[in-house]
Amino acid sequence: MNKNNFNIRPATEDLAALVSLFTKSASFLAGVMALWSLTASLRITQSFAVSEGVLSSWIVWAALAAGLNVVAPYLTREIQERLRSMPVRVLPNRRTIAANDRTAAA
pLDDT for 38-92, tens place per residue?
998 888 988 888 878 888 888 999 999 999 999 888 887 877 777 777 666 655 5
Domain that holds residue 68: 32-93
- Look at the alpha carbons of 33, 39, 42, 45 in this order and tell me if their dihedral is positive or negative: negative
Residue 11, pLDDT above cutoff 60: no
Query: Structurally, how many domains does the chain consist of?
Result: 1
* Position 25 in a domain: no
- pLDDT for 96: 59
DSSP state of 91: E
Residue 1, pLDDT above cutoff 50: no
* Position 36 in a domain: yes
* Position 3 in a domain: no
* Position 17 in a domain: no
For residues 70 and 33, give the distance between their C-alpha atoms in angstroms, rounded to a whole number. Answer: 18
Neighbours of 13 (CB within 10 A): 15
* Position 20 in a domain: no
* Position 66 in a domain: yes
* Position 76 in a domain: yes
For residues 88 and 23, give the distance between their C-alpha atoms in angstroms, rounded to a whole number. Answer: 27
* Position 44 in a domain: yes
